[in-house]
Amino acid sequence: MTKSVEYFFSIGSPWSYIGFDAFTELAAKNKVAITPYLTTVVEENGGIFSRNRPEIRRAYWTRDLKRWARVRGKELRLEHRPELSDPTPASLFVIAAYLNGQDWIGVARALQHAFWSEARDIGRSDVREAIVNAAGFDGAALLRRQADDDVQNKWSADRLHARDSGVFGFPTYVHDGELYWGQDNLPFLERHLRGDRP
């Protein structure tokens, strides 16, 4: 029987970016069906945007991100980033690809890399269209789809599902009712997938 994982993540989360490939590789190795849910920080469950944290905690967060980026082999541009618009609309491209039965993982990977490694403004529709075009996808088609009812409805429903599932930060993985928060918890998720339920 195919195992399944509900995958809650945010394009605007550097932790989602850092752990993305490690998770998708783990899923492929363990024959896991992934259901993606895209949203932003669920504040009503205790999630906190990094901009709202004390500076001393933000400084530690930055150091920890850099350490994990090196472990995961990711280039992470945190300093000297230009003024960028909200990356949230890029989530609609990923949702559209998922609903179309396309390679949503490839679309998410391209957009996250552009935002976190290259500091490109994926909040702008022309920028994200160009990014996904360069990655081999039809950016114009995804741009047209982002306003469609099914895409907008999934975006709204994803947030409610995250809230009701107890999600507060990203990435979060849910398997067999067990919640794992953070890409550093992937070893525990894998143990669970192999039968060692906590």
The reply to whether 85 belongs to the active site is: no
Chain centroid to CA 44: how far? Answer: 19
From 4, 10, 13, 156, active-site residue: 13
Rounded (5°) CA angle 34-189-51:
80
Contact between residue 175 and residue 193 where contact means Cβ atoms under 8 Å apart: yes
DSSP string, 153-175: HHHHHHHHHHHHTT--SSSEEEE
| Cβ neighbours of residue 47 closer than 8 Å, sequence gap 6 or more | 41, 167, 168, 169
Residue type, 39: T
Instruction: Give the other-Cβ count within 10 Å of 197's Cβ.
Output: 11
Contact between residue 8 and residue 34 where contact means Cβ atoms under 8 Å apart: no
User: Of all residues in the chain, what percent are helix, strand and coil, respectively (each to 5)?
Assistant: 55, 10, 35
Strand duo 32-38 + 3-9: pairing: parallel
User: What residues are annotated to the active site?
Assistant: 13
